[in-house]
Amino acid sequence: MPLSPAAQNLVDAAAARFPQSMSGTPLAELRSVLGRIAVPPTTPIYQSRDVIVSTSRADIPVRIYRPSAERRLPVVQWMHSGGFTMGGLNQNEEYLRKLSIAANVVVVSVDYRLAPENPYPAALDDCRDVWCWIKASPIELGETTGVRTALAGESAGGTLVFTLGQQLRDLGLPMPDAQVSFYGGAEMRISNPEHSTNMLTLADCQWFWDQYVSTEDERSSPYVNPALARDVGGLPSALIVTAEIDPTRDATEEYARRMMRAGVRVELVRYDGMMHGFATLTGTLEPARELFGRTIDFLQSSLHPTDLGLDVLIRGRKDV
Averaged pLDDT for residues 257-283: 97
- 212 against 2, higher pLDDT: 212
pLDDT at position 120 over 50: yes
Q: Which is more confidently placed, 161 or 14?
A: 161
> Is 155 labeled as catalytic in the residue annotation?
yes
Percent of the chain with pLDDT over 70: 91
Prediction pTM value = 0.93
Is 195 annotated as catalytic? no
Residue 246 falls in the annotated catalytic set: yes
> Contact at 8 Å (CB) between 222 and 198?
no
d(CA 7, CA 271) in angstroms, rounded, equals 12
Say how far apart CA 268 and CA 256 lie, in whole Å: 7
Selected catalytic residue, list 81, 155, 181, 196: 155
What would the mean pLDDT of 192-216 be, rounded to a whole number? 81
| pLDDT computed for residue 2 by the predictor | 83
Q: Which of 195, 276, 297, 302 is catalytic?
A: 276
For the chain, report the end-to-end CA distance as a whole number of angstroms.
Answer: 15
Fold that domain 5-307 belongs to in CATH: Rossmann fold (3.40.50)
**Nearest partner of 278 among 243, 310, 313, 249, judged by Cα:** 243
**pLDDT above 80: residue 305:** yes
Q: How does pLDDT run across 162-186, given as a tens digit for each residue? A: 999 999 999 999 999 999 999 999 9
From 125, 129, 204, 246, the catalytic residue: 246
One-letter identity of residue 251: A
- Residue 131 pLDDT exceeds 70: yes
SS3 266: strand
Q: How confident is the model at residue 309 (pLDDT cuts 50, 70, 90)?
A: very low
Q: Which whole number is the average pLDDT over 90-113?
A: 98
**What's the mean pLDDT in 23-49?**
91
Given a cut of 60, is residue 105 above it in pLDDT? Answer: yes
What are the domain boundaries of the chain? 5-307
